[in-house]
Amino acid sequence: MNLTVKNICCIGAGYVGGPTMAVIASNCPSIQVNLVDINKNRIKAWNEKNLNKLPIYEPGLSDLILKTRGVNLHFSTEIEKCITNADMIFISVNTPTKTKGIGAGKAVDLRWIESCARKIGEYSKGLTIVVEKSTLPVRTAQTIKDILKAYEDNNSKRHFSILSNPEFLAEGTAINDLECPDRVLIGGDEEYAIEALENIYLNWVEKEKILKTDIWSSELSKLIANAFLAQRISSINSISALCELTESNISDVSLAVGMDKRIGAEFLNAGPGFGGSCFKKDILNLIYICNHYGLTEVADYWEQVILINDWQKKRITKKIIEKLFGTLSNKRIAVLGFSFKANTNDTRESPAIDICKDFLEEGCNLSIYDPKVEKEQIFKDLIINSENYSKLETTDTIEKACLNSDAIIVMTDWQEFYKLDFLKLSKIMRKPRFIFDTRNVINLKEAKNFGFRIWNLGDGSFQ
């Protein structure tokens, strides 16, 4: 059997669906791509003329939208119609951790996946390839298969083939990650479906980079890749605390360790802890699966990655209180950066959220500057109520955030924080003025020359 895909529907126009479909549309002009979502506001924002108002900030994305939108990339809320017209359907909806019921706090909430499967069952026609793009617990494809099987019937020649095609993009570098992936992983058990998806990627990805496995290995590989990445961050963050106590420097240690080819240099930057919507939820899911299969020792091993991540955030708050003479009450801290990493407007699980909440709890005033995160998002994340409303402001410049502040805390590694104007800042901040750098972006010597007292994460060597 041969199938040439002419019409794709992607359900879920988020941080994965948006960039991924933009790259497919750009590289496959003969395929019509419809990106659908239940969130009307999100679709409206994707259709905004002003490209600065797209719902997602991602370098290079607006150029692709300009090139493809209205040509072969369409954003719509007409989910049923787009499903009916598609020969391949990507499921790219959110898969958060369950908040109640069995497995609450660990297992993945699959309600959005299940509702997509039912919709596909109801509205698709003929031969349909369903691609799991969302990150899912191993063996979820079986659930999707079971649901869709109920809709198959020989008379109308309806048939569904399920593929797992996890996404490995990182936010902030998504377009480059999609255009030049390290690998593309396709898991499946029907050759024609695997080939149809492979042929789409072959428009821009080398054949050698396309890895084909069974569905279960593909689903599991995605969870494990994220677990390994997060594990590296917790490993280096645990050592950052040791460096502070032994007059050594975490950047030097990372460099020396990472130059060993067997270890590798990437993902060894110490910081305030990993954020983002996936690392924590995917490891929690891994822990849940291990416990389910009776592998408690394995589950406990991976749990440490999360515990160290939480500990790192608390450790930073405590260190800052200690440095600021034991109290934050009525002090003002300028928070530079609120997104979970640079080059994204995403704040999900950002370490800045937990640390800022702790500051507010201690009675501190906060002025937060982030070049891409909206004020409404910051207020929403910090659950600002009438009690602490007056304690928080957001600003549109670094200087305004620092005005009359006692301290600066750098939370995100945005490029502009690498070259702060210490002369200007020294004139507008209160004395004694502090910088707490959780990302190692500050020029320490220069800042010290302008009278700043400095705490640099993982750096016990700076005097």
Give catalytic residue positions. 278
Least distance in Å: CB of 4 to ligand UGA? 28
Interface with ligand UGA includes 171 (CB under 6 A)? yes
Q: Which part of the chain contacts ligand NAD (CB under 6 A), choosing from 34-42, 122-130, 304-312, 423-431?
A: 34-42
The residues with which 130 forms a beta bridge, in sequence order, are 89, 162
Query: Which CB, 159 or 222, lies closer to ligand NAD?
Result: 222
Least distance in Å: CB of 55 to ligand NAD? 8
Least distance in Å: CB of 298 to ligand NAD? 21
Contact characters 40-79, ligand NAD, x per CB under 6 A: --x------------------------------------x
Interface with ligand NAD includes 350 (CB under 6 A)? no
Interface with ligand NAD includes 115 (CB under 6 A)? yes
User: Of these, 185, 268, 378, 401, which contacts ligand UGA (CB under 6 A)?
Assistant: 268
SS3 335: strand
Within residues 333-352, the interface with ligand UGA by CB under 6 A covers 340-341
Q: How many angstroms separate the CA atoms of 184 and 173, rounded?
A: 16
Q: What are phi and psi of 237, to 5 degrees?
A: -65, -35
- 127-132 vs 159-164, strand pairing mode: parallel
Interface with ligand UGA includes 187 (CB under 6 A)? no
Binding partner of residue 317 among ligand NAD, ligand UGA, none, CB cut-off 5 to 8 Å per kind: none
Binding partner of residue 369 among ligand NAD, ligand UGA, none, CB cut-off 5 to 8 Å per kind: none
Strand boundaries in 73-204, DSSP class E: 73-76, 88-91, 127-132, 159-164, 184-187
Binding partner of residue 109 among ligand UGA, ligand NAD, none, CB cut-off 5 to 8 Å per kind: none
Contact between 181 and 205 (Cβ < 8 Å): yes
Binding partner of residue 341 among ligand NAD, ligand UGA, none, CB cut-off 5 to 8 Å per kind: ligand UGA
Q: How many angstroms separate the CA atoms of 395 and 380, rounded?
A: 16
Q: Which two tokens stand for residue 247?
A: 């007059």
User: Of these, 68, 135, 221, 347, which contacts ligand UGA (CB under 6 A)?
Assistant: 135
Q: Which residue has the tokens 């042929």?
A: 199
Q: Which residue has the tokens 């749990």?
A: 303
Cα–Cα distances (Å) from 175 to 70, 93, 212, 387, in that order, read: 20, 19, 23, 42
Q: How many angstroms separate the CA atoms of 133 and 33, rounded?
A: 15
Interface with ligand NAD includes 299 (CB under 6 A)? no
Contact between 22 and 64 (Cβ < 8 Å): yes
By CB under 6 A, the count of residues binding ligand UGA is: 19
Burial class (CB in 10 A: 0-12, 13-18, 19+), 228: exposed
Q: What are phi and psi of 407, to 5 degrees?
A: -150, 155
Q: How many angstroms separate the CA atoms of 300 and 64, rounded?
A: 43
User: Of these, 26, 34, 72, 135, which contacts ligand NAD (CB under 6 A)?
Assistant: 135
Name the amino acid, one letter, at 107.
A
Q: Which part of the chain contacts ligand UGA (CB under 6 A), choosing from 209-217, 266-274, 326-334, 453-461?
A: 266-274
Q: How many angstroms separate the CA atoms of 269 and 261, rounded?
A: 17
Sign of CA dihedral 7, 11, 13, 18: negative
Q: How many angstroms separate the CA atoms of 10 and 358, rounded?
A: 39
Least distance in Å: CB of 13 to ligand NAD? 5
Q: How many residues are listed for the chain in this entry?
A: 463
Query: Which CB, 269 or 405, lies closer to ligand UGA?
Result: 269
Interface with ligand UGA includes 121 (CB under 6 A)? no
User: Of these, 55, 275, 371, 458, which contacts ligand UGA (CB under 6 A)?
Assistant: 275
User: Of these, 8, 37, 83, 270, which contacts ligand NAD (CB under 6 A)?
Assistant: 37
Q: Which residue has the tokens 């479906």?
A: 193
Query: Which CB, 168 or 379, lies closer to ligand UGA?
Result: 168
Burial class (CB in 10 A: 0-12, 13-18, 19+), 76: middle
Query: Which CB, 43 or 178, lies closer to ligand UGA?
Result: 178
User: Of these, 58, 171, 177, 219, which contacts ligand NAD (CB under 6 A)?
Assistant: 171
Q: Which part of the chain contacts ligand NAD (CB under 6 A), choosing from 6-14, 157-165, 198-206, 389-397?
A: 6-14
Strand boundaries in 39-170, DSSP class E: 73-76, 88-91, 127-132, 159-164
Interface with ligand NAD includes 95 (CB under 6 A)? yes
Which residues bind to ligand UGA, rule: CB under 6 A? 135, 167-171, 226, 229, 233, 267-269, 271, 274-276, 278, 340-341
Which residues bind to ligand NAD, rule: CB under 6 A? 11-17, 37-39, 42, 79, 92-95, 112, 115-116, 134-135, 167, 169, 171, 277-278
